[in-house]
Structure 1
């Protein structure tokens, strides 16, 4: 049977050659000797990799492959069933060696290389859960040499993650999501000062939370994951990132088959699977971990809460990322009440949608403590609503300021209006144990003096006046009529512009698995479809996606959401967004500036009649970009229209700022009146009142 050759898509050819997809399309049309399609479909053909590389090399278009590229090719060519996880102990061992020593290994002959790698990797074999006895043979010489070279030139962590991507491209579990690096850092920052020495993550995934704990000083790490490939990857990543920590990673279902029975640690960090209906309700009915009650079948998260508490020492802390429904569902009310009554719940913190997957809901952070039987639990519960904070830096500041103040003196915590408040457990019982932060934070009246509150509101009103003046100034000239009749133009489709090289079009292609955050948290920011629509800065992180075809934004690019939902707004990339990555479901148009003005292009591409004329679908309406039409006009005239569209964009931004400030001002004025901190305009506050209200307590 002939060996199947490796196939490349046009996007993969563009990455291989370091050019845009539009350039590849031009090669296909203009060069008769360009390789013919050997697979795929008519609309999405694929090409034989060897033929493509030969053609590129003959034209001098084939860049020198990197060590990472060569290892990736070697991994792709390995037969199915090759135990590539046996490479992990080798990479861990190489990460502990001096660069000069790694370089010397790469120069050894095959027999000596096998012997040395086997010797240095042996102490680390047991660290990777599913690595079995396996000896590499002469046929593996090229693979092993490329692994050593990749570690030497690219680093141990990129090598581990490249191997992991090959081993586990689709090892996902329902309700299980990767944790973005900013959320990881916030969770570890909620642990007590001086990260506790022993930390457990019973749903460790690729080990991101444990790695962050180690980087903050944890010396003993325990992790378990139900997906063997993820557990192996976690062990390898921690072997590289946390060389000074004693690490134990196991495979298996933590609820059904706990790998660490009897283990009590100082802290637990966990992002458990959400909404798992088959978590083991029936067979675990009498499990001793259910100190606070048997979790309902549809409340798997409360099983994870009690599992984490069971592994804590008295007064140990657990930080868990939870879906918002756990805080208020009636089925879990009794367990929430027992947790609160016993002092196990310390804080509930709400994040904005988009902070972590699933991105359509605002998740919660729960901070839990295992009660100490020797000390009565009388602390109130802290609630923090960070969902309205402007940017992640503001989220971190609001959460950590409130948490650290509360942790230092729970009974003396000063509420932060609209952001943070403590609630006694008895009051939570009266509120039917709804732990949703916004319910408690927004319900509290201002605790500042009326004078301070009035000063704050009046400053907000001054901001609103300035925003209103800016709104009026953004459009202070009349717009003349175009004539007695509307102007019409000859138009051309985007498809025609692409064929004429006046325009290039790109999409970000993603796979199903998250790539994982770079160890130093330096992942690029990503412009999502929502960011394009609302005009905000790129809000996602590279780690939230697995980019198979990454695209970097350039100043002057025009972005358009691929689906229609609540209106479509194009956006021109400015210098602040340049260098960010294009997110999924966003169309990128890169005009030739000598032929197309970007603001002119953005304005006409997003015209309502244009978008709907190029849309297809019923429940999900997608734009067919090649059908969009653009007027044909000279560049000078384009620029005149472009300046007009740019003014409209400025008008829209000014209106949004003024609208937000108006809403915030109206809300604060209402709160001030209903809480007794403000008096109605024209009313004399010094006039005697029928009675004085009782002093308000929080």
Structure 2
């Protein structure tokens, strides 16, 4: 028997359970006297009984079947403690994979035990991995302020870098294509694994027989969740995993194994990392890390666990590259060839999102008679230009960033190869000064000025865009527009009832489904629309609830990114607050529909509140009622306006870039007078 009576849920959670917008739930509450009464919270953020909500939804036919996972999550959240809910989710995953195992390795309350059994049963019905990933993602979202995770695209990039930089062992060396074609045994280490994002990415990128993953996490709840996640991934890729619950710096559980690849996103700015008790530790071959430099302790920890020729990639805050206290250790890392490259990432790549984090790429000296001596220079890569404007946590243009960084690192061991624009090979003599500053921007900024030919080409492009703009403006100015003609309107909800179109609401795919390869589709989110509109993620097709096909009208149902357009690209998965409308071509023209929907006044009247973060009730958006033949004429003008707007944006960006470049050149004395 489900015990949901005392579990509180918010309006947002009710909307998720019912698969509708929050505005719809508010309307139900306002219009139906039978809607459950508030049991807690405030007038602004009321809470309701989950059991009463479930019963009301069923009795009023608001949904055919209630999603079991959505009903399950509020009960996990109601456990209260972050640790108890996390341990319960991990235990549920273990029982999903081993139904006969009833002995829990952790002590849970009776309520948590009952919930674990229900979750395990649901997982065996609706998919064990999908159910676990859903619960894990909700848990991470709930405790996002207390946790720091590595975004899947960054984790995958780090694994690819390590595979490429590592000195291989002949024919068995893995290419990093993730297809498991290599036969070489490979050991991967993550000594601060959190919930296992990096280790999971490593398993996907390094897939193949003989793969072993060693991970360590000092937080018991995070370690349990990491073990659960990696067990599912290991089943898929036939890997061996060992997850230890320990403080890797103070109680290193993997002193014996030597890793071929190490990946790490360590905790930042921790003063109590073990400075006193570890003062004589043998790992500090480059010097005892100062108390204020815990990140350099993690760097040396990784190097101490690498096999000869092994590679490590670690995420670090930018201050580690220049702080005075760490210059002696940085100098030793450079002189011995251990620090091979530093990559400055765009802001938004990982938490904290407002900071341009760095990837330090480390390599242990190769062994044997053919070993390459330590390098005489280091590669510094400034990838900050791949940031996308908009919200600070929107993330960079991952596909372009990935390609650029991997291309730049190809020049690492090729002295005769010039690094691409934005990367520079710096001799050690230039780095080993009084500061030993390895910040990429300090060295790459000197070579970023465009050439005269590049400037001339850009000016020509701007002139072409301005010519097209003038022609478009002339055509639009000749339109005859009447303001007082009466027109009949229909809402999207009316059109759905009439069968003129169907509507589907996008959702967040389960965490962990992001993966490269042919068997994936782009994932578009509201954050992407706030930048350049390019999808920033990839998901497996089977995990995406809604995929927009060419010809569908996509609508963003949030005020800050309100937009409607006809999708013309490849099939694309839609995230939360995005909607796909599929028209009946015998009744509606898709471009006519998109043009009507994206009218700013339409979005304002359908918005639920005045704030930019409020939602737009898509069903309330209005559309002109016109015969199909007249719709075509409107559609043509709408498309012309859309093209005109795109040209305006292009001209603005190109013009601003030219002003910036020419100003820099003039300030440097580049005017020929």
| 1:35–1:260 CA distance, 2 compared to 1 (3 A) | same
- Quick check: 1:464 aligned with 2:467? no
Name the CA distance, whole Å, in 2 between partners of 1:263 and 1:396.
30
How far is 1:333 from its partner? 2.5
How far is 1:285 from its partner? 3.5
- Quick check: 1:147 aligned with 2:141? no
Name the CA distance, whole Å, in 2 between partners of 1:281 and 1:224.
20
| 1:528–1:40 CA distance, 2 compared to 1 (3 A) | same
| Gaps in structure 1 of 5+ consecutive residues | 95-116, 126-130, 448-452, 489-496, 544-549, 563-568, 617-621, 682-698
Contact map agreement 2:129 2:232 (CA 8 A) in 1: yes
Name the CA distance, whole Å, in 2 between partners of 1:233 and 1:247.
13
Structure 2 residue aligned with 1:183: 154
Aligned with residue 350 of structure 1, among 344, 349, 353: 344
How far is 1:477 from its partner? 5.4
| 1:296–1:482 CA distance, 2 compared to 1 (3 A) | farther
Structure 1 residue aligned with 2:400: 394
Structure 1 residue aligned with 2:360: 366
When the two structures are superposed, what TM-score results if normalisation uses the length of structure 2? 0.71
Structure 1 residue aligned with 2:265: 271
Name the CA distance, whole Å, in 1 between partners of 2:80 and 2:338.
51
- Quick check: 1:658 aligned with 2:651? yes
Name the CA distance, whole Å, in 2 between partners of 1:325 and 1:482.
60
Structure 2 residue aligned with 1:237: 229
Contact map agreement 1:290 1:306 (CA 8 A) in 2: yes
Name the CA distance, whole Å, in 1 between partners of 2:187 and 2:554.
50
Aligned with residue 473 of structure 2, among 466, 472, 475: 475
Contact map agreement 1:201 1:224 (CA 8 A) in 2: yes
Contact map agreement 2:342 2:438 (CA 8 A) in 1: yes
Name the CA distance, whole Å, in 2 between partners of 1:615 and 1:27.
20
Name the CA distance, whole Å, in 2 between partners of 1:35 and 1:135.
29
Contact map agreement 1:381 1:423 (CA 8 A) in 2: yes
Structure 2 residue aligned with 1:92: 97
| 1:372–1:500 CA distance, 2 compared to 1 (3 A) | closer
Structure 1 residue aligned with 2:200: 211
How far is 1:653 from its partner? 3.5
Contact map agreement 2:260 2:311 (CA 8 A) in 1: yes
Structure 1 residue aligned with 2:177: none
Contact map agreement 1:91 1:159 (CA 8 A) in 2: no
How far is 1:270 from its partner? 0.9
Structure 1 residue aligned with 2:32: 31
Structure 2 residue aligned with 1:493: none
| 1:351–1:203 CA distance, 2 compared to 1 (3 A) | same
| 1:541–1:179 CA distance, 2 compared to 1 (3 A) | farther
Matches within 5 A, 1:116-135: 117-118=100-101, 131-132=105-106
Contact map agreement 2:346 2:384 (CA 8 A) in 1: yes
Matches within 5 A, 1:9-158: 9-65=10-66, 68=69, 84=88, 85-93=90-98, 117-118=100-101, 131-132=105-106, 144=117, 147-148=120-121, 150-151=123-124, 153-158=125-130
Matches within 5 A, 1:244-643: 244-371=238-365, 376-389=373-386, 391-407=397-413, 409=414, 411-416=415-420, 418-430=421-433, 432-444=435-447, 459-476=457-474, 516-518=511-513, 520=515, 525-528=523-526, 531-539=528-536, 555=553, 557=555, 571-575=563-567, 581=574, 604=600
Name the CA distance, whole Å, in 2 between partners of 1:335 and 1:575.
53
- Report SS of the residue matched to 1:412: coil
- Report SS of the residue matched to 2:342: strand
Aligned with residue 191 of structure 2, among 188, 202, 217: 202
How far is 1:305 from its partner? 1.1
Name the CA distance, whole Å, in 1 between partners of 2:231 and 2:615.
47
Name the CA distance, whole Å, in 2 between partners of 1:142 and 1:534.
41
Name the CA distance, whole Å, in 1 between partners of 2:108 and 2:57.
39
1:399-457: per-residue Cα shift (whole Å, max 9, x none)?
A: 212223434x2x222232x222211111222484222223323323899xxxxx77666
| 1:672–1:74 CA distance, 2 compared to 1 (3 A) | closer
When the two structures are superposed, what TM-score results if normalisation uses the length of structure 1? 0.68
How far is 1:232 from its partner? 0.9
Structure 1 residue aligned with 2:178: none
- Report SS of the residue matched to 2:446: coil
Contact map agreement 2:191 2:248 (CA 8 A) in 1: yes
Name the CA distance, whole Å, in 2 between partners of 1:3 and 1:232.
26
How far is 1:241 from its partner? 1.1
Name the CA distance, whole Å, in 1 between partners of 2:141 and 2:536.
25
How far is 1:240 from its partner? 1.7
Name the CA distance, whole Å, in 1 between partners of 2:312 and 2:340.
10
Name the CA distance, whole Å, in 2 between partners of 1:160 and 1:75.
12
How far is 1:385 from its partner? 2.5
Name the CA distance, whole Å, in 2 between partners of 1:381 and 1:561.
47
| Gaps in structure 2 of 5+ consecutive residues | 175-184, 388-396, 485-490, 497-503, 627-631
- Report SS of the residue matched to 1:292: coil
Total equivalences in the alignment: 599
Structure 2 residue aligned with 1:111: none
Contact map agreement 2:8 2:74 (CA 8 A) in 1: no
1:358-391: per-residue Cα shift (whole Å, max 9, x none)?
A: 2223322221012358864134211222333493
Larger radius of gyration: 1
| 1:457–1:480 CA distance, 2 compared to 1 (3 A) | closer
1:505-539: per-residue Cα shift (whole Å, max 9, x none)?
A: x99999xxx9743264669735345x545553344
How far is 1:65 from its partner? 4.3
Name the CA distance, whole Å, in 2 between partners of 1:65 and 1:481.
51
| 1:10–1:498 CA distance, 2 compared to 1 (3 A) | farther
Name the CA distance, whole Å, in 1 between partners of 2:642 and 2:514.
38
Larger deviation, residues 355-364 vs 599-608:
599-608
| 1:439–1:49 CA distance, 2 compared to 1 (3 A) | same
1:308-344: per-residue Cα shift (whole Å, max 9, x none)?
A: 1121123221011222232233333332222111111
Structure 1 residue aligned with 2:488: none
| 1:248–1:358 CA distance, 2 compared to 1 (3 A) | same
